[in-house]
Amino acid sequence: MTDYDVVIIGAGAVGCAAAYVLSGYKINIAVLEKEADVAFGTSGRNSGVVHAGFNNVPGSLKAKLCVEGSRRFEELALHLGVKYIKTGKYVTGFSDSDRAELERLLKQGKENGAEGLEIVNGDDIRKIYPNIQGNFALWSGETGIFDPFEYTVKLAEKAYDSGAVFLFDSKVVEIEKDESGRFRLSYERQVLGKPEKETASLTAKAVINCAGLYAADICRMAGIERFDIRPCRGEYHILDKKYSQMVDVPVYPVPDEENGVLGVHLTPTVSGNIMIGPSAEFLEEKDDYSNEEDIMHLLKEGAELLLPELKGAAVIRSFSGIRPKLIDKQGEINGDFVIESSKESPGFIYMVGIESPGITASMHIAEMAAGLAESALGVKFAKKTHRSSVKEEMPDMSSFSPMVCRCEKVTERDILKAYDDILKIGAVPTLKGIKNRTRAGMGSCQGSFCTADIAEVLKKHRGADISEITYDGPGSELFFGRLK
């Protein structure tokens, strides 16, 4: 089928949340994603923090949606089966100006309706965490951590089970409106083993643009020229799990107002690593996920300011994510989300500038988008009486399955389940997708033991051709076929 009621562009956290919300209605929906799998862009490259809502300007959409999102995240995580820990968080300060800024954040947070905020002094912090630096801090009791891959994957799986169609490796290249007023979206896909890209198309009554970094480009295809998104890269280091006991709560410095970013912070992950970062650097390209030498040093210095014990700590991986910063006509950063329905092109709904706290707010953004789609189409979508609950097939846990990733304790069965789950939603199996779902290769050895074993498991049990196994989609083939 190529005719849909609503087509969502982008399978990040917001796109998958929109698919999840809309799949609760009696409508046909599809999701187009240019990458091989969900959460390969900004959604999978961030601190994994559920924000409480004190960093955003009162009255802004960010403030409103963040506070609401934070309030229901715990329940949502439970419903989706996503690991979530309400850790709380410190924003630590040293100087008088820091103090003033923290007081301002406290006031702002209260105005936004964020709960659990208080200023604590350095001794209070050190009663619990003897090594965290700072003369005082803003404590936010409602802040939490979660796994952004898992969150996005679970949303996509639930949406799929309720009838959403996902098309991966499908990059939208053109949006037109036909005589009947329907949108025709053309998209390119790289079919494995063929050098040329193939073009296909589908039609939709409404389109929801959740393309993150590329949201402005998608808007332009629909004739909306006014947005400018500038990529702002944030680099991170991930530390070995052996440091996990050092800090189990996010520790932030006073935010960097100028760039509208939160500054280099320490974030524990739900899996027991500590992340250091992110930096903030405006780029030309939207897909330059490299790590720069000088910033790699700066991150370590930033972390040591907050927790001197981390000096010399062993990094197991560095990575980067890119924030889609919305720039206004004056070239200034527009600090808010834009979630609107197009006047020029009715039925085209766009969300632009969805950066932090985008995942915290994702379910609300999705609900707003659904509402906007209803108004644009002048209909009220009929709710499904119940979601078709597809019972998750639990693999037989009683039988033995060999250990594949010894660092993260991932078995052959876990790998195969991830592979099958990827195929089920229509995504392209990749090493990165398997890693995101199982954590195989995310431990101390970073895949030096298990990469070969994962390839072998996929070959042996799923008939995968080793030379077709990619890291993150076509072009990233890991090996060059048989040696002999």
Partner 1 sequence: MERKETIVVGAGPAGMAAAVQLCEMGFRDVLIIEKESGPGGVLRQCIHPGFGLTRFGKNLTGPEYKALDEERLYGSGAELCFNTTVMDIRQGEKEGIVLSAHTPEGIKEYMADAVILASGCRETGRGALEIPGTRPAGIFTAGTAQAMMNLKNTKVGNRIVIVGSGDIGLIMARRFTLEGSEVLCVVEKSEICGGLDRNKKECLEDFGIPLLTSSTVSCIKGKKRVSAVVVRDKDGNEQEYLCDTVILSAGLIPEDSMAERDIEGLFYCGNVLYVHDLADDVSVSGEEAAIDAAGYLIAKMKGKNFDSKYSSSNVGSARDERRAFLAERNALKLKESSSGRKYIICTMCPNGCRIDADNFTGGRCSKGEAYARNEKLDPKRILTSTVKVKGTGDVIGVRTDRPIPKTLMMEGMKLIRDIEADQSVKVNDVIAEDFLVKGVKLTASDSYRSEKIR
By the criterion CB under 8 A, which residues form the site for partner 1?
Answer: 237-238, 242, 287-293, 296, 314-319, 400, 402-404, 406-407, 409, 411-412, 444-449, 451-453, 455-457, 460, 466-467, 470-484
CA distance 315 to 295: 14
For partner 1, give the closer residue by CB, 129 or 449. 449
For partner 1, give the closer residue by CB, 126 or 242. 242
Query: Nearest approach, Cβ of 469 to partner 1 (angstroms)?
Result: 9
Query: Nearest approach, Cβ of 406 to partner 1 (angstroms)?
Result: 6
Burial of 236 (0-12, 13-18, 19+ CB in 10 A): buried
Query: Nearest approach, Cβ of 34 to partner 1 (angstroms)?
Result: 13
Question: Is the omega angle on the peptide bond into residue 278 within 30 degrees of 0, that is, cis?
Answer: yes
DSSP assignment letter at 262: -
CA 377 to chain centre: 29
Query: Nearest approach, Cβ of 477 to partner 1 (angstroms)?
Result: 6
User: Which candidate, 481, 480, 478, 460, places its Cα nearest to that of 470?
Assistant: 478
Query: Nearest approach, Cβ of 16 to partner 1 (angstroms)?
Result: 24
Query: Nearest approach, Cβ of 308 to partner 1 (angstroms)?
Result: 20
CB 120 within 8 A of CB 139: yes
DSSP secondary structure letters along 174-222 = EEEE-TTS-EEEEEEEE-TT-SSEEEEEEEEEEEEE--GGGHHHHHHHT
For partner 1, give the closer residue by CB, 26 or 409. 409
For partner 1, give the closer residue by CB, 177 or 317. 317
For partner 1, give the closer residue by CB, 126 or 409. 409
CA dihedral 481, 407, 432, 464 (to 10 degrees): 40
For partner 1, give the closer residue by CB, 207 or 450. 450
Query: Nearest approach, Cβ of 398 to partner 1 (angstroms)?
Result: 8
Residue with tokens 């005589």: 179
CB 39 within 8 A of CB 362: no
For partner 1, give the closer residue by CB, 224 or 275. 275
CB 310 within 8 A of CB 303: yes
